[in-house]
Amino acid sequence: MSPIEKRTNTIQIEHTVSAWGSAVSQLASASNLSEEQINDAVRKGGVWRKKHNAHKIRRVRDLSEGLTVADQLFLNYDPKILAQTPLIPILVSDQLNYSIWNKPSGMLSQGSRWSDHCTITEVVQRLHGKPTYLVHRLDKAASGLMVVAHTKNALKKLAEMFSAREVEKQYSVVVHGELTNSLPYSLNMPVENKEALTDILEAKYNEAANTSTLLVRISTGRKHQIRSHLHAIGFPVVGDRLFDPGREHTQDLQLISCVLGFDCPFTKQRKIFRI
């Protein structure tokens, strides 16, 4: 039997494909799971493959095709993750080669080794009926505009635009406290030892709630950049359980990607998307 690891009802297996039976039956036997459970894990992105004599490990969607003896399979089975129901994004604009969606708070941009069925790319692919590729990320707890590509060419062109900082990105953010700095106010502080630039363009104070609604523009796209910068200057984002864990939170993260602007890589026309 292949090596098996169990932790709090999760199962991880590395299995070398043999000549007997199907790959599904082999994984089922090695894991003591049913074939139905194995097929569910495959559909939801919990099974990976490394071809014999290859170096890369890739997610596998169909165990009935392309497998050969001596290929390695990696099963990552977590019943709680696999039981999660995907959230549904709202289509903002279909640009044929790419589309823009309003991601709800709680939806993942990227999957993990355990699954990817709740990610925006997998959900959009099912909703839209097109191949879908991730161009950029948005925090799970944040909501708002995201661009996804539907061709490899669109992915390349859009990713190059984001990398070259040719995409205008603005966010509506609610923070604790009253921001009285002269605007625009620029924050230039590294995040994880990488350059990170954030500009606060507007601020509107709500005295009753003691919160300020900010319009923020970022020139870089570091992980948790806005949350990190605003917390560093004493204005944590409302609902930010990561950077402001000592507070009792009654709301979800109040951070919305509200504006995306760029020159369409296909028509060269300026595109501005707002929510």
Torsion of CA 12, 14, 20, 26, to 10 degrees: 10
Catalytic member of 116, 139, 244, 252: 139
User: Per this entry, what is the length of the chain?
Assistant: 275
Cβ atoms within 10 Å, residue 274: 10
Q: Are strands 143-149 and 255-263 parallel, antiparallel or unpaired?
A: parallel
Catalytic residue status for 252:
no
Of 17, 162, 142, 127, give the one whose Cα is nearest residue 75. 17
Residues in a beta bridge with 143: 256
The region that residue 188 occupies, defined by phi over 0 for left and psi between -120 and 50 for alpha, beta otherwise, is beta
- Angstrom distance (rounded) from CA 14 to CA 237: 42
Looking from the CA of 209 toward its CB, the CA atoms found within 13 Å total 12
Reading the block at residue 233, the tokens are 């200057």
Catalytic residues: 139
